[in-house]
Structure 1
Amino acid sequence: MKPSLDLLRSMTDEHVLRTLMHRERATRAEIAVATGISKPTISDSVRRLAAAGLLVDTGERTTGRGRVGSYYSLATDVGMALVVEIAPSGVTGEAVDVFGSVVARGSAPLDRKAGEARTARALVEVASPLSEQVTGGFRTAVVSAADPVDRRTGALVHLPDAPFLVGELAPVALLAPLVDGAVLVDNDVNWAARAEMATGHASGVRDFVYLHLGEGLGCAVVSDGEVRRGHGGLAGEIAHLYTVGPNGTAMPLTEVFASTGLRRPASTAVDVDALRAATAGDSALRAVLASAVCGALLAAVSLVDPEIAVLGGEWGRDFVPDVEDQLRRAARRVPVVAARVDEPQLTGARAHAVEELREVIIEPTRAAASG
C-alpha cells in the first residue's frame, strides 16, 4: 500500500522544518541538497509552511552567478521553551529558542529555609517577566528541581531530612498559565545524568549510574539509555541507604556526614566547604567518606549492573581516585569516571526543552496528514 499524498507532504514538511531548526536559514536549493528531496517538492513544501505561518522569507538573496535564491527561516513567532532550575541557592529561568540559544534569563535568590510559599513566589517572579519577552509565547516548559519529583503529578515530594525542603511545591500548576503546552518536571540529578549521556563521559553508554555528591546526595539510574524514575519518581534517593560508616559501623549514608561533623548546623545538607577543608590533608577521613560512597555505589552495581559510574556534584569529582581505591577491595567492580558537563542539570533540562519545542512546532504538519 502506497503512502497517501497527505502523508508524503507531511514527511517533506517535517524534513524542511528540521533542516531549518539546525541551519537557521537556507534557500530551497540548499534544503533540497540537505534532505535529498527534489527541489520542486521542497518548493511546494516551503509554500505550504509559509502559508501556515511557520516559515518566512528573510528578504536575503543569494549572490554570484546563476539564478538568485531566497533565504527562508522559521517564523519569529513559533514560540520558545521555558527552562527553570529550582535549587537551594535560588530559581533560575531561561527563555530558549528552537536553536537552543538562551535569549533571556532571570533569577531570584533563595536559601535552604525558603519553604514552599517563598519558592512558589520566586518561581512565578522569574517566569512571568520572561514570558513577556517571548514572541509567540512559551510552547513548553522543563523544570529541574533539587528535590524528589512525583512522576505522575510533577509535584515535589517532601521527604524527611531532605536538605532542601519546599513542601509539595507544584511547578506544573504554577507555570501552566504562562505556558501553552506541557510542563515537565524532574529531579536535578536525573537531568544531570541526561546531560552527561549526551555530551559527557557517559556519551554512548546506555547503562550507568550518576552519583551526585554535593550538599545533597542523589543517584540517577540509566538503563537501556533511559533514566529510570521508579513507580513514584523516587528511584535513586540514596541518602538513607545503609552503608559503611566510621569504624565499620552500618549507618545511613547521610548520617556518615553527621558523624564526621560535615553537615551544616540544623540541616542535613553536607557542608561542602568544611568537607574540602577537612579532607585536604586527612587521608583517613577521605577513606571513610570514600568507603561510604563505595557502599552506596556497590548497592547500585548489584541492582542495575551499570557499565560505568559517574561521580558529579560539588565534591564528587574530587573523590574519583578514592572511590576507585575502595572498589579494588570489592567483589564486583565498575569503572568510575568524573562528570564532565558544567551546569549539568540546567544543560540537561535545556536540551530536552529544545527537543520538546521542536516536536511541538512540527506536530501540526503531522496532524494535517492524519486528519
Structure 2
Amino acid sequence: MIFRQLFDTTSSTFTYLLADEVSKEAMLIDPVFEKTQRDLALVKELGLTLTLVADTHAHADHITAAWVLKQKTGCKIASAKVIEAEHVDIHLEHEQAFGIRGITLTALSTPGHTDGCMSFVLSDHSMVFTGDALLIRGCGRSDFQQGSAQKLYESITQTLFSLPNDCIVYPAHDYNGREQSTIWEEKQFNARVGGGANETDFVEYMHAMKLPHPKKIAEALPANLRSGCPEDGQLPPEPDWANLEYTYAGVPEIDSEWLEQNLSKVTLLDVRQEDELDTSNPLDADVAIPLGELRDRVGEVPKDKPVVAFCRSGRRSSLAINILKDAGHEQVANLKGGLIAI
C-alpha cells in the first residue's frame, strides 16, 4: 500500500493518502479545501487515480476539499449517513465496509465530538483513522455540534480501545507536531481517558474545559454540510493565462508544447550560467540572468507579460519562480523538464 500523511499548518489538520500499488486507485481521508492543489499534484506525480474521498466528520475548523476534488477528478465522496451532507455518494453506517480496489476500510461510528464522527479502520486492523474522536494523548472536544462527553467516552473505551494494541492511531489533528500513536499507548497514557480513567474522570475533565470556538466554525460547518461546495456552486478561480500544472513542491509549470504556441505572449527568462549559453539552445531568451544573480537583478525582468523561467533541467528555474513571486511577479511559470525535455 502507498501511504502518505499530509499536514495543513493553518488548521493543524492531517490528510491521509492511501493507494493500492497494483490498481493505482487512491483515496484521501479528510482533505482540506486550501490544499486541493497540493493533493492533486501528489496523486498525479505518484501515477495514481483518485477514486474516493472520505471525511471522518463535519469539521468545524476547516472546509473539506471533498466537493472540489469530486469536480476535478470524478471521485466519489463518503461520509457518515447521520450527517446528511449534500453531494455524498456513499452514506456510511456503523461497521460498513468501503474503500478502493485493493484497500478495504470499515467505518466505525464513534460519536461524542459530533454525532456524525466516524473512525476508519483498515481491514487488517493495522491502522485506524480516528478523526477527532481519539487524538494523540487527547480527544476531540464535546461542547458543541451535538457533542457528548458520555458518548465520546464510550466511543473511545468500547469501540476504539477494542482494536488491537499495536493498531496505529492516525488522528485528524495534532497541535504539537506528533504524527501517530498506537491503541496501547493511548490506553496507557492518554491524558483524558487513559491509565484506567473511568467515565466520571473523563466527563468531569471534559466539562471543565473552557475552549473558544474554532475561528472558522461559522464558515466551515455550513460549507461542510455541502461537502465543501461553495455557496455559489462554482469552482474557485484559477490562473487562466496558461495551462498551468502544479508540482507537489508547489511549482507552477507549463510544457514545451504550450510554450511553443505562446512564445509571443510571455517573457522568457534563462537562469543558466553564462558558460552554458550556446547557439544550440532551441529557445531565444528575452532575458538571461544566472540564478545566483537573480535576486539582485530581478528588476531587469519586465512585468508587462507573464514570465516563463527555464534552465537545463527545470530545477534551478523552479527556484527562480519563488524569487520572481517575492519580487511581485504574479504570472510566472517554470518550463517543465527544462531544455532537456524539449
TM (norm. structure 1) is 0.24
TM (norm. structure 2) is 0.26
User: Which structure's relative contact order is higher, taking Cα pairs within 8 Å and 6+ residues apart?
Assistant: 1
More helix by share: 1
